[in-house]
Amino acid sequence: MLRALPASQDRVVRRFQDLGTDPESAYDAQGLHELYKNYCSAGGCLDCQIGQHLLGD
């Protein structure tokens, strides 16, 4: 069902879109929210491949 719904356009999804992601569905957007919750807001940049790439490691 989540794959049939469009991706939300909230703050978290827009941040990832600014980094070049293109969520196609609510399922993708939910995944971005999980990444944000588990890595970005928890200060886990070095444990995240996206964070490592952005930091140049």
Enter the tokens of residue 1. Answer: 């069902």
pLDDT of 57 above 80: no
| Per-domain boundaries in the chain | 2-55
Give tens-digit pLDDT for 19-33.
999 999 999 999 999
pTM of the model: 0.86
Q: Which residues of 1-31 are buried (b: 16+ CB within 10 A; e: fewer)?
A: eeeeeebbeeebbeebeeeebebeebebbbe
Quick check: 23 and 16 in contact, CB under 8 A?
yes
